[in-house]
Structure 1
Amino acid sequence: MTTPEQRVEELGFTLPSPAKPAGSYLPVVRTGDLLYTSGQVPMIEGKLHQTGKLGVDLGVDEGKAQARICVLNALAALKAELGELSRVRRIVKVVVFVASAPDFTEQPQVANGASDLLAEVFGDQGRHARSAVGVAALPLDAPVEVELIAEVG
């Protein structure tokens, strides 16, 4: 059986080392069988991959790519907490924040970058409830930030 980590690699991605918190918070908090990740921005090797706002500096496809990077960082945080991603029973909820121009309304399409990757990695257990929220700005001028809630066993 293919592990989630192997699936990430088959999809052409690399699971990064977990990002260190940039403030006074924990990367993951567990309560019962649920793990909540802190918001993950599209960092690669300690640097923001892209900056700016959707509808001004980036298009939908670029936003989707940034959302995928955020998910990979969230999965790295989950793996650091669990030891292996096969302990994830289900991705329960995903919240995607999209730094947007005032007239940009395609936040759900940007969020599909995150949702589609989770479904590809975990199959039906990766399908989840979701919110896609447009915001004026995100930390470090990140274009996208993603939080996950995962049920674990």
Structure 2
Amino acid sequence: MSAGSVSARLAELGIELPGVAAPVAAYLPAIRTGSHVYTAGQLPFVEGALPATGKVGGEVGPDEAKQYARTATLNALAAVHDLVGIDSVARVVKVTGFVASAEGFNAQPAVLNGASELLGEVFGDAGVHARSAVGVAELPLGAPVEVELIVEVAS
């Protein structure tokens, strides 16, 4: 995408990036090394609070969790924007998503589509990425999902 076009696309989609979520431990929300930005795992905070807690396939439904993956991705994009500016993103390289999964729940990839679909809407072809969708027993603060990104930035 050309300079300024990511911001324009967000506006076109009616998406406003949230403020950067405060870290819940000793780490930075995002760090740049060379031409890449790595985000810390981002939870689906909305105005500083988790909208739900629990395991997907148990207390949290898969469709609801998909929306939380989208929210966590917006939080990751906010961390990128705060560090380097969203318009400097040349492409999304990798998404890693963690899903707190109830016993027997194995639709983690469908949950993480909430992240992947958002990135495609925002970045177009530059949003197509490699991805891991991992089921875990627990996530910080009882969150149902956590998302981290690796993006390439323009020099």
Q: Please indicate the TM-score interval, normalised by the length of the shorter structure.
A: over 0.9
Q: CA deviation at 1:88?
A: 0.4
Q: Distance in 1 between the 2:110 and 2:38 partners?
A: 23
Name the aligned partner's letter for residue 124 of structure 1: D
Q: Distance in 2 between the 1:81 and 1:40 partners?
A: 15
Partner residue, 2:80:
78
Name the aligned partner's letter for residue 86 of structure 2: L
1:104 aligns with 2:81: no
Partner residue, 1:128:
129
Instruction: Describe the shift of the 1:39–1:8 C-alpha distance in structure 2 as closer, same or farther (beyond 3 A).
Output: same
Q: CA deviation at 1:136?
A: 0.4
Q: 5+ unaligned residues in a row in structure 2: which ranges?
A: none
Q: Distance in 1 between the 2:11 and 2:59 partners?
A: 29
Q: 5+ unaligned residues in a row in structure 1: which ranges?
A: none
Partner residue, 1:11:
13
Q: Distance in 2 between the 1:34 and 1:96 partners?
A: 18
Matches within 5 A, 1:1-153: 3-82=5-84, 84-153=85-154
Number of corresponding residues: 152
- Using structure 1 for the length normalisation, give the TM-score: 0.94
Alpha-carbon RMSD = 1.3
Q: CA deviation at 1:9?
A: 3.6
Q: CA deviation at 1:116?
A: 0.4
Q: Distance in 1 between the 2:48 and 2:61 partners?
A: 24
Q: Distance in 1 between the 2:44 and 2:135 partners?
A: 16
1:79-101 Cα shifts (integer Å, max 9, x gaps): 0001x211101100000000001
Q: Residue 5 of structure 1 contacts residue 15 of structure 1 at CA under 8 Å; is this kept in 2? A: no
Q: Distance in 1 between the 2:15 and 2:88 partners?
A: 20
Q: Distance in 2 between the 1:40 and 1:61 partners?
A: 19
Name the aligned partner's letter for residue 96 of structure 1: G
